[in-house]
Structure 1
Amino acid sequence: MKISIEEIDNRQDEEIIIRCHEVNEEILSLLRRIKAKNKMLIGFNEDTIHQINFSDVYYFESVDNKVFVYCRDRVFESKQKLYELEELCEGRKFFRASKSSIINIAKISYIKPSISGRFEARMDNGESVMVSRQYVPVLKTMLGI
């Protein structure tokens, strides 16, 4: 694969061109990572709109067809669906913990086994998030255990 970089005048718009024989999963994954790299999330709290860095997010949770973004001491509502946020989190330290949540592993203080094969992830802000047993192997792999 050949990679070319061309510096341009700041009056021109920056662009990325991908030339490939076929649009396969590897190319689509690269495209998603490029699009999400420096993106910030938009969160809503009452009448205000906030920009949120991915590094400030502890976890995302879907409740009653609404998606919430949990930070250290604030909760925001997101207009994006959980699967859309999961795509944006690709290549970052996030993983799907259940059908209704995505956790930032960099914000986990500790984990402990819970009933019926699930794990409890205790976050740095003191909150607990359950990891479904089907996602426990993913967590173990990401943590190297």
Structure 2
Amino acid sequence: MRVIERTIEHPEDEGVILEYVKLTKDFAEIKEYVKHKGDTIMGYTQDNACVSIRIEDILYFETVDGNAFAYTADELYKLSGRLYQVEEDVKRSYICRASKTMLVNMDKIESVRTALNGRLYAKMENGEEILITRKYAKEIEDYFMKEDDNERV
């Protein structure tokens, strides 16, 4: 596959051009990555400072006692709104439900192992393990299986 790069003068002219015969899974992933690279969500640190968090840096989202939180490799941020609202705001193919109270960034999972009753444990990049309930385990498995799949979209 060829790659063409050009330097331009104005930031508003920046962009990526995808040329393909047919939209394959690889091109679809590149397209989604480019469209959403750098997207952020607002959150609050433990000392109530409002910060912008890059979605691709978030390991997972979780609801605890009715409050939604975003976890990165080394920080915890409180979010405004409910988990379903966060899910709508950060709709990406790599953000999946792990349980009723958790969304997980699939790109931040290092490994997955089976647990009892059809559940899974996902080891995140920071070494933390999260439980994926039986209801959502198939979606997680399918996500990892599609990476080995060479079929076209």
Comparing 105-114 and 88-97, the one that deviates more: 88-97
**1:39 CA drift (Å):** 4.0
- Which letter maps to 1:58? L
TM-score with structure 2 setting the length:
0.68
Q: Which residue of 1 aligns with 2:50?
A: 49
Provide the identity percentage: 28
Deviations 1:11-55 (A, max 9, x none): xxxxxxxxxxxxxxxxxxxxxx9xx94641111012311100111
Paired residue secondary structure (2:81): coil
Deviations 1:99-134 (A, max 9, x none): 000000000010000122110000000111110001
Q: Which residue of 1 aligns with 2:97?
A: 96
Q: Which residue of 1 aligns with 2:62?
A: 61
Q: Which residue of 2 aligns with 1:138?
A: 139
**1:144 CA drift (Å):** 1.2
Q: Which residue of 2 aligns with 1:80?
A: 81
Cα separation, 2, equivalents of 1:91 and 1:74: 21
Paired residue secondary structure (2:73): coil
**1:92 CA drift (Å):** 3.5
Cα separation, 2, equivalents of 1:96 and 1:141: 13
**1:88 CA drift (Å):** 2.1
Aligned residues: 111
Superposition CA RMSD, Å: 1.8
**Higher RCO (C-alpha 8 Å, min separation 6):** 2
| Structure 1: unaligned runs, 5 residues or longer | 1-32
Paired residue secondary structure (2:126): coil
Q: Which residue of 1 aligns with 2:27?
A: none
| Structure 2: unaligned runs, 5 residues or longer | 1-31, 147-153
